A and B are shown apart, each in its own frame.
Chain A
Amino acid sequence: MTGILAAAAPIATPHIEYGQLSPMLLVFGLALVGVLVEAFAPRPLRRGLHLVLTLGGLAAAFVLTIVVASSSSVFGHGSPGHVAAEGAVGIDRPTLFIWGTILVLAFVSVLLIAESSHDVSPFAAQAAAVPGSAEEREGLEAGITHTEVYPLTLFAVGGMLLFPASNDLLTMFVALEVLSLPLYLLCGLARRRRLLSQEAAMKYFLLGAFSSAFFLFGIAMLYGFSGSVRLSAIAAAASSNTGSATLLYAGIALLGLGLLFKIGAAPFQSWKPDVYQGAPTPVTALMASCTLVAAFGALFRVFYVAFGQLSWDWRPAMWAVAILTMVVGSIVAVTQTDVKRLLAYSSIAQAGYVLTGVIAASAAGLSASLFYLAAYGVAVIGAFAVVTLVRDQTGEAAHLSRWAGLGRRSPLVAGAFAFFLITFAGIPLTSGFTGKFAVFRAAIAGGALPLVIVGVLSSAILAFPYVRVIVLMFFSDPAPDGPAVIRPSAFTSAAVVVGVLATLVLGLDPQPLLSLANHAATGMFIR
């Protein structure tokens, strides 16, 4: 017995850099604390406790991100970063920029999730009660709501932090599921129009599970090709030209399919309008901002680190996807009659513009995309915040015909929405213009001029539905039974004001954030 023990090599303890991972660990830890609150705190106390935990936690994680970004142990001596947790997580400047963006956007989204002035909450009283049943009515009359949404949001945000930071594909897959599973549930929890909400959850779940199976099969192919799931090992095997090319290309295609599904690029965009329309609007805001940033972060890391040497091979396919995404997003947006669907198709087109930054395959493309995502994310949350304010007896009045004459009744709210549409269209002096200009300039420098021409044409097409909404709001007569704009509480007002201010400031003086994004992108991703 002792002989066997002596012969066995001592097991090396894994080394975990708790300090560098602290933003992510804090978010996950508070999500677990949130579950305990749900189990032990009495119902009247829960919302307050959750608010303190969630908002405080996200703010604290943001501060920790800044601390990590300025720590000399990670970035000292010109180092591009550090591979933490035994090679599972890459801590580098683009990742920290993405973390900061996600945490700020999640904070603003949680303000919408916490809104309680016009309904008890945007979420169902009892998700298990059948819509229209006596059980549901009892829950609504008792004025209860699901406070589980706060820990679910924190789990999703934690997954979003891990997703773009993962340095091996197994971690990335687990992060993908950690971010997706809570979102599937959150989509089905709307308080009003529950049939739409449940349908959105089912569609998102079935399509999401389908796409993650492809993502996983891609990982299996790349593992078969290189014998490892570490991104740097795959890059090394790809450049040394060993192994089967079939496995490599099948792996790139399937892995890319899974990632492009998450960002909603055509031809994998079909879930986006349905889910954005059916989900509770605060959750839509969370998905349209934070999920998009996280998914693009992961796409960048995979295609720049693992497949960076193969850019001549994947760029043609990515060209086709980007062109299709921009064209489909803008043309189908023209025919939309629902505000949330219109914003969903607009979000598809915006994903196409950021894809041109991916295709640039350069530090300039990365920094422009980082800027674009941050500017777009904060504006899109503001736009969805406005959507939550226009209501009638049945809840949000999202049909465009109901928005006629809104500008005459409530010029401030309609003006804010018009401003967000103007920034999505990329009119100068807004952040949308700066972002588009930076992305397209990087794409031209990367030799993708035709792509930029398609992008400019697509934004011109996309401006048409935006202008139509603005004309409808300000130049048509309000219907006598039209929806009312309710007086926003401090939470929703804060989200709208943050959106407007950020869009304005980033449009007038984009330099500070642009330099930060440039600084983040210079070292690229750690290998």
Chain B
Amino acid sequence: MISPAHYVALAVILFVIGAVGVLVRRNAIVIFMCVELMLNAVNLAFVAFARLHGNLDGQVIAFFVMVVAASEVVVGLAILTSIFRTRKSASVDDANLLKY
């Protein structure tokens, strides 16, 4: 029997995978995809909690998160493509002019 608690556990696991991905990957696009994975893990948690509490707030919030994530993609890819066109590289290690 799969209970909503299992979905919450899955959401936590997905969130941690995303967070670890952000920390270890070097390609800015992959880092960004890992952030999206974290946001989707949050959506899963919201929907599972909505089921647990028996109200619809969590499902509505999941829609808001999707819309915000979509607008984040627009802004993020604009920044990442402009930096890729300049440097011919999407690696976050190459963008190293600002430090100390």
Q: Which of A206-262 contact B (CB under 8 A)?
A: 206, 209-210, 213, 216-217, 219-221, 223-224, 227-229
**What CA separation (Å) do A161 and B86 show in the bound complex?**
35
Binding site for B on A (CB under 8 A): 127-128, 130-131, 170, 173-174, 177, 181, 184-185, 188, 194-196, 198-203, 205-206, 209-210, 213, 216-217, 219-221, 223-224, 227-229, 273-274, 277-278, 335
Q: What is the interface residue range for chain B against chain A?
A: 35 or more
8 residue pairs, one from A and one from B, having the closest CB atoms: A227-B53, A213-B38, A224-B49, A274-B98, A220-B45, A199-B95, A209-B35, A198-B83
Interface of A is mostly: helix
Supplied contacts A198-B95, A220-B46, A277-B98, 18 more A-B pairs, CB within 8 Å: A170-B61, A177-B71, A181-B72, A184-B75, A184-B79, A195-B86, A201-B79, A201-B83, A203-B98, A206-B32, A209-B32, A209-B72, A210-B35, A213-B42, A223-B58, A224-B8, A227-B49, A278-B97
Contact A202–B49 (Cβ < 8 Å): no
Partner of A199, one of B52, B85, B98: B98
Partner of B97, one of A127, A199, A219: A199
Q: Binary interface profile of B, 17-57, with partner A (CB < 8 Å = 1, else 0)? A: 01100100000100110010011011001100100110101
Query: Provided the pairs A203-B95, A203-B98 are in contact, do residues A224 and B86 lie with their beta carbons within 8 angstroms?
Result: no
Contact B41–A198 (Cβ < 8 Å): no
Partner of A202, one of B58, B68, B95: B95
**What CA separation (Å) do A137 and B83 show in the bound complex?**
18
Contact B57–A223 (Cβ < 8 Å): yes
Contact A173–B82 (Cβ < 8 Å): no
Contact A128–B57 (Cβ < 8 Å): no
Chain B residues near A131 (CB-CB < 8 A): 86
**What CA separation (Å) do A174 and B72 show in the bound complex?**
11
A166 to chain B, nearest CB (A): 13
Q: Binary interface profile of B, 60-76, with partner A (CB < 8 Å = 1, else 0)? A: 01001100100110011
B85 to chain A, nearest CB (A): 5
Query: Provided the pairs A188-B82, A203-B95, A210-B22 are in contact, do residues A173 and B68 lie with their beta carbons within 8 angstroms?
Result: yes
Chain A residues near B99 (CB-CB < 8 A): 274
Closest residue on chain A to residue B67 by CB atoms? A174
Closest residue on chain A to residue B61 by CB atoms? A170
Chain A residues near B78 (CB-CB < 8 A): 185
Closest residue on chain B to residue A124 by CB atoms? B82
Chain A residues near B35 (CB-CB < 8 A): 206, 209-210, 213
Closest residue on chain B to residue A273 by CB atoms? B98
Chain A residues near B49 (CB-CB < 8 A): 220, 223-224, 227
**What CA separation (Å) do A323 and B64 show in the bound complex?**
36
Chain A residues near B22 (CB-CB < 8 A): 206, 210
Chain A residues near B46 (CB-CB < 8 A): 220, 223
